[in-house]
Amino acid sequence: MTSREPSFAGVAALMGDPARANILAALMDGRALTAKELAHAAGVSASTASEHLAKLVDGGILDVVHQGRFRYFRLANSLVASAIESLMVLSGDRPPRRRMSASRGGEPLRVARTCYDHLAGKLGVALMDRLLTQGHLHPDLADYQVSHRGQAFFDELGVDLASASGQKRHFARSCLDWSERRPHLAGSLGAALGARCFEIGWLERQRDSRALVITAAGRRGFRDSFGIEILA
């Protein structure tokens, strides 16, 4: 009798190749990148990168975006990003060393970074903690629901709950943070909160990096609205 291969074995094999793992890590900030950029991130030739990208697209791990004569690659969805983040936790690894020019020192990534389209690192975990302890979120099986108090809080902050809840994805989920080993907020609510923090100037992106800059306005805002101090 032959044993049937688990359905996740193929996906695990796709993600497990070192070059493909570096490609996936480079896309964890939610951007879409070209094959040339991803070849550099993975430390492989353009032809080798093309082979890896074709496998990841065929496996449903990546999507391709066509813009003019250019093709851009991005993670297929937030579930893929969550799986990658969880694998980082299990491996205990630091971010891959060959990843654009992003990872000169891991500490900025640990303080504040993007995890696909939501916030991670010390900042992301601290925000999740405060949302729970302040009673703005409460657990609902595998997801979270916004309390009446939380509705008023998010409304005052300018987060559009109606738009977030109307999307065809999980509304509010925990995502295990690879550096903090504790959950941060994912789902459409996590994405909306992150987008609002960029919109009001609390956070700024860094070129070619998932690491984020917490501005002076952000430090005041996170302290006044959430009661947290973020120390780099």
Residues 114, 221: one domain? yes
Owning domain of residue 28: 9-76
Condensed to tens digits (0 to 9), the pLDDT of residues 129-141 reads: 999 999 999 988 7
Residues 149, 199: one domain? yes
Q: Is 24 inside a domain boundary?
A: yes
Q: Which helix (H) or strand (E) holds 197?
A: helix 187-199
Name the pLDDT band for 195 (thresholds 50, 70, 90). very high
At residue 31, the pLDDT reads 78
CA 93 to chain centre: 16
Condensed to tens digits (0 to 9), the pLDDT of residues 24-63 reads: 988 887 778 899 999 998 999 999 999 999 999 999 999 9
Report the pLDDT averaged over residues 165-182.
88
Residues 131, 170: one domain? yes
As a whole number of angstroms, the distance between CA 80 and CA 82 comes to: 5
Condensed to tens digits (0 to 9), the pLDDT of residues 117-163 reads: 999 999 999 999 999 999 999 988 778 999 999 999 999 999 999 99
For the chain, report the end-to-end CA distance as a whole number of angstroms: 57
As a whole number of angstroms, the distance between CA 56 and CA 40 comes to: 17
Count the neighbouring beta carbons within 10 Å of the beta carbon of residue 10: 12
pTM for the full predicted model: 0.69
At residue 130, the pLDDT reads 95
Residues 71, 171: one domain? no
At residue 104, the pLDDT reads 41
95 closest CA partner among 172, 194, 180, 178: 178
**Last residue of a domain, which of 27, 59, 76?**
76
Residues 54, 126: one domain? no
Q: Is 198 inside a domain boundary?
A: yes
As a whole number of angstroms, the distance between CA 222 and CA 214 comes to: 10
Domain count within the chain: 2
pLDDT value at 232 more than 60 = no
Residues 30, 114: one domain? no
Residue with tokens 């793992």, as numbered in its chain? 21
Q: Is 87 inside a domain boundary?
A: no
Q: Is 141 inside a domain boundary?
A: yes
pLDDT value at 205 more than 70 = yes
Residues 113, 47: one domain? no
